[in-house]
Amino acid sequence: NAGVTQTPKFQVLKTGQSMTLQCAQDMNHNSMYWYRQDPGMGLRLIYYSASEGTTDKGEVPNGYNVSRLNKREFSLRLESAAPSQTSVYFCASSEADTERTGELFFGEGSRLTVL
């Protein structure tokens, strides 16, 4: 049972470099999400995708782009990394974007450090 798989698990970047975080889920879920986790601030929503072909901004989208490549995959791209983007990134998925959105299934996280 793979669930939600994120790669890479660790990455160190220099300021200005670009990178893409990959996420794939094998649960046939419609909705996928990217969150960042910072000390004392909990998880904040970066972008989400309610279905294949759609993406929407969350609370902190600046400096990021996303692609919902197909139903399984949802990638997060940093075009020009900044130290403020040092964080742990979590991908998640859920069955549907319904009125009572319920359980999110999370990946193990990707720890990104920008020097």
Partner 1 sequence: GDSVTQMEGPVTLSEEAFLTINCTYTATGYPSLFWYVQYPGEGLQLLLKATKADDKGSNKGFEATYRKETTSFHLEKGSVQVSDSAVYFCALSSHYGGRRALTFGSGTRLQVQP
Judged by the rule CB under 8 A, the positions of this chain that interact with partner 1 are 4, 33, 35, 40-45, 48, 50, 56-59, 90, 92, 97-109
By beta-carbon proximity to partner 1, the closer residue of 14 and 103 is 103
By beta-carbon proximity to partner 1, the closer residue of 9 and 115 is 9
Q: Least distance in Å: CB of 14 to partner 1?
A: 26
Q: How far is CA 96 from the centre of its chain?
A: 17
Residue pair 44/34 in contact by the 8 Å Cβ criterion: no
Q: What is the 3-state secondary structure (H, E, C) of 71-101?
A: CCEEEEEECCCCHHHCEEEEEEEECCCCCCC
Q: Least distance in Å: CB of 35 to partner 1?
A: 8
Contacts (Cβ under 8 Å, ≥6 apart) of 28: 71
By beta-carbon proximity to partner 1, the closer residue of 92 and 112 is 92
By beta-carbon proximity to partner 1, the closer residue of 17 and 71 is 71
Residue pair 90/35 in contact by the 8 Å Cβ criterion: yes
Q: Least distance in Å: CB of 17 to partner 1?
A: 25
